[in-house]
Structure 1
Amino acid sequence: MSDFLTLVGARIKQLRVQKGLSQARLAELAELQDSYIGGVERGSRNISLNSLEKIMSALGADPVEALKFGKLDEVVDLSEEAAKQDLLEIHLSLLQERSLPEIRLVHRMVKDMFDTFDRKEERES
């Protein structure tokens, strides 16, 4: 998996979730297999331009939207739990291709950040 495929997959997933579609429904609309959609969203499938066009058409979006990675940080009007789950899955897909030392470094950094947040909250209480 490449970082590019992971980003494209995360963006497609974000657009799918925004539309309230399951992977199975998107696959049906795009006339593709749902396992293929899952692989694309995980970044483990090398998506063809033809399939990208089908998926984006099924999402009612211009194909260039799949390449707007900056929008991965945007949280849309979802319930808090759905937005949380969406962001967690995006983070997981970003970490998927990283080496174990890189993942451990990210883990330590996040843990240190949470420890700092917790200490700040304790001082303010």
Structure 2
Amino acid sequence: MENLLQKRVGKRIKEIRVEKNISQQELADLCGIEPSNMSRLEAGRANATLATIEIVSKNLGIEPIELFRF
């Protein structure tokens, strides 16, 4: 069963990352996440923990709530 919330958050991460002109590799490096895991996160195939949401949003320069504004 697909998790719609996972997909929406992943899509939002990607949207913001692209808006800020950051590559997926760069964001993964900044967050200390394997690039393959960042890819899975953005594709909605990985469930982000609250700690991951905090790290990703910090490195995107946004508040965590922004990842839930769809």
**TM-score higher than 0.5:** yes
TM-score by length of 2: 0.94
Name structure 1 gaps, 5 residues minimum. 70-125
5 Å-filtered alignment, 1:75-114, equals none
Quick one: percent identity of the two aligned structures? 35
Give the corresponding residue for 1:66.
Answer: 67
Aligned amino acid, residue 39 of structure 1 = R
Moved over 6 A (4+): none
The C-alpha deviation readout for 1:21-60, integer Å capped at 9, x for no partner, is: 1110001111111111110110000110001111111100
Number of equivalences: 69
TM-score by length of 1: 0.54
Identify the structure with bigger relative contact order (alpha carbons < 8 Å, sequence gap 6+).
2
Higher helix proportion: 1
Name structure 2 gaps, 5 residues minimum. none
Q: Which has the larger radius of gyration?
A: 1
Paired with 1:33 and 1:55, the residues of 2 have a C-alpha distance of 13
5 Å-filtered alignment, 1:1-125, equals 1-69=2-70
